[in-house]
Structure 1
Amino acid sequence: MKKTTNFFPGRKTVSFRKGPSGHLRQDPSDEAMRIKTDPSLQDKSPAQLQHHVSTNALTAVLQRGGDVSDRHEVMGEYGLQFGKYNGKSFRWLLENDIGYVIYLIKTVEEEERAGKFNPQGNSKDSLLSFLDYARSFQEVEDLREYLSSRKPASPVASEGDTIVGFGVRAKDTWEQIWKSRADGYAAFILGVKCIKNSKMSNLQQQRAESGPLQPHPEL
């Protein structure tokens, strides 16, 4: 049997965190959460020039025996030059907080569409490089497509427009229940929502019989 030679024993790839269904987990890892909640763990160093960032990444890949000709692997070692994860590698961010990655992509795209994105400075250079790196992964693009395909919930104009959802009038709104309170159903609902014969129950019964509360003159 011919023995194969591994020319790059130190090669590293992104290990995405996935849930039971195979989708990327968007919640931050324990390490990311500690950084988010503890400012003392955040790197406050000023942003470096892109040239220094790329040189440091090449050195890191070379020292661990990675493939310096692989753009993905080298960019994975780029250090972030912005935000609460400043100093962490591009690969680290994909592995630890995909939710933040999606937020960054969405925010920049919205600013570009509105003509408000102004990429200047070392931090912006780092951000653009990271977005280029993140979008090159099919897993990230699949998640973005999935999120954009979900239909947003229909907005509710007010609490009165909310469907009751239970009982003989489950399909009615709370406003409909209140407007037809002469039939006693509104009083019944208010009465069963608390302890029988309690002061609160009596107060709710009075509110049901007297009509909607009027705003206090001082409010």
Structure 2
Amino acid sequence: MERTIKTRVLQALEDLSRKNLEKFCFHLRNRGDKPEIRTREVEKKSPVEITDLMVSKFTAVRAVKVTVETLRLIDCNQEAETLESKTKACVDTGDPIFRKTSDGKLNTKPSQEAENHAARPFTSKAVKGASVKMMRPEEVEAEAKAQVLSEGGDPGNDRLVLSRYVIQFGKYKGQNFKWLLENDLTYAALIVAEHQRERKHSMIQSPHMAHKDSLTQYVIAYHELSEELRYHHAYLRAKQRSLQPGQEGMALLGFGAHRWETLQGLYESKDLDKISYVKYLRRMESECTPGSKMVDAIRYILQRDQELAAAGTAPSRPFTRSFCRGPRKRKSNRTSSSRSVQGKWRRTGSKTQQTCLLRF
């Protein structure tokens, strides 16, 4: 593989004009990343020497990435695309390219491609009572190896082969494991967390369970998903606890910035940001997707609102201008004395009366 990569990189550099090769070496020296390339290491060097240097500095696989990036910096886009296409099978180790948010964090939301795939008619719920044929583990593996071979890859690379396993169930049936991690991390982590919990109580080796074993093996190899897996294990434990009578509020919210919060904790919080979020959820009652986690959260919030209304009380909320509106002022000729009496009544009134004034 290394020999093939070195040959392709060398061809790309030999196709450059003398001027473009000088530009290439200039950007190579000024990458601003380690390992550094010194001027004397590339100055007046031939394409062969520069290729050997990059492979020794970066490893063969990374040398391709650096070469492609540098070619694009000097506007040799056609050469970059050619090199990328010719080395694709060699540099693909089966590792997914994780999507990141603008602030560099892992993007766990479904991609647009994932949403489009999940919305397709044949990936929606199966016809009730229809049997779903599952391929046997050896069939899935054979198909994956054939796919790797067709791409020019190494069928002896276990992770590469595993990345090409085709999903046999759910809304992404027909896509492969690598695609799943690149397009919907949350779904992948939830499936693996549920399977790991199930495996604690069952060692059945059905095709379905064996397939999820393979997915689990692929997913847990990436430390980037450890936090997401930890969250889903916590979510499932909380969900189980919330099924007990009177414990509905113990379920985790499960989405958004407050996904680690329990429904009860979120509802009863005096934190202004969380209070604002509860108000937002109330407004979303008619707009959320049926069967979603948001529906469960809104149902709990409205149920708590009804219980408090029936009891003649309201949720405790600190008074701030940002989210509470006091009683509308009326024009009056009352003396300052009467206003003072009213203010005294407000300060000494019952807790219920004061709370009702702050009800929103």
SS in 1 for 2:167: coil
Kindly state the Cα deviation for residue 85 of structure 1 after the two structures are TM-superposed. 1.4
Q: Is the 8 A contact 2:193 2:229 kept in 1?
A: no
Kindly state the Cα deviation for residue 30 of structure 1 after the two structures are TM-superposed. 1.2
**Structure 2 match to 1:141:** 226
Distance 1:112 1:179 in 2: 56
**Structure 1 match to 2:114:** 32
- Mark the CA change 1:42 to 1:151 in structure 2 (over 3 Å): closer, same or farther: closer
Higher helix share: 2
Distance 1:43 1:33 in 2: 15
Matched, 1:71 2:158: yes
Structure showing greater radius of gyration is: 2
**Structure 2 match to 1:180:** 351
SS in 2 for 1:141: helix
Unmatched runs of 5 consecutive residues or more in structure 2: 1-46, 53-59, 62-85, 127-131, 235-258, 269-303, 309-313, 324-348
Kindly state the Cα deviation for residue 50 of structure 1 after the two structures are TM-superposed. 1.4
Unmatched runs of 5 consecutive residues or more in structure 1: 171-177, 194-219
Distance 2:123 2:319 in 1: 49
SS in 2 for 1:18: coil
Q: Is the 8 A contact 1:134 1:140 kept in 2?
A: yes
Q: Is the 8 A contact 2:190 2:232 kept in 1?
A: no
SS in 2 for 1:144: helix
Kindly state the Cα deviation for residue 59 of structure 1 after the two structures are TM-superposed. 1.4
Distance 1:48 1:41 in 2: 17
- Mark the CA change 1:82 to 1:55 in structure 2 (over 3 Å): closer, same or farther: same
**Structure 2 match to 1:132:** 217
Kindly state the Cα deviation for residue 186 of structure 1 after the two structures are TM-superposed. 4.3
Kindly state the Cα deviation for residue 65 of structure 1 after the two structures are TM-superposed. 1.7
- Mark the CA change 1:126 to 1:166 in structure 2 (over 3 Å): closer, same or farther: same
- Which of 189, 193, 205 is residue 120 of structure 1 equivalent to? 205
Kindly state the Cα deviation for residue 16 of structure 1 after the two structures are TM-superposed. 1.1
Matched, 1:86 2:158: no
Cα displacement string for residues 183-217 of structure 1 (whole angstroms, at most 9, x for unaligned residues): x5345335xx5xxxxxxxxxxxxxxxxxxxxxxxx
Q: Is the 8 A contact 1:23 1:143 kept in 2?
A: no
Distance 2:198 2:350 in 1: 45
**Structure 1 match to 2:184:** 97
Distance 1:79 1:43 in 2: 19
Distance 2:144 2:154 in 1: 11
Kindly state the Cα deviation for residue 24 of structure 1 after the two structures are TM-superposed. 2.1
Distance 2:193 2:208 in 1: 18
Distance 2:186 2:223 in 1: 16
Cα displacement string for residues 132-171 of structure 1 (whole angstroms, at most 9, x for unaligned residues): 1111112112443577799644635855584303249x9x
Q: How many residues align?
A: 179
Which structure's relative contact order is higher, taking Cα pairs within 8 Å and 6+ residues apart?
1
**Structure 1 match to 2:358:** 189
- Which of 295, 318, 325 is residue 165 of structure 1 equivalent to? 318
What TM-score results when the alignment is normalised by the length of structure 1?
A: 0.65
- Mark the CA change 1:80 to 1:148 in structure 2 (over 3 Å): closer, same or farther: closer
Q: Is the 8 A contact 1:68 1:74 kept in 2?
A: yes
SS in 2 for 1:125: helix
Distance 1:131 1:60 in 2: 21
Q: Is the 8 A contact 2:134 2:168 kept in 1?
A: yes
- Mark the CA change 1:185 to 1:91 in structure 2 (over 3 Å): closer, same or farther: same
What residue identity is the alignment partner of 1:78?
A: Y
Computed over aligned residues only, the root mean square deviation of the Cα atoms, in angstroms, reads 3.6
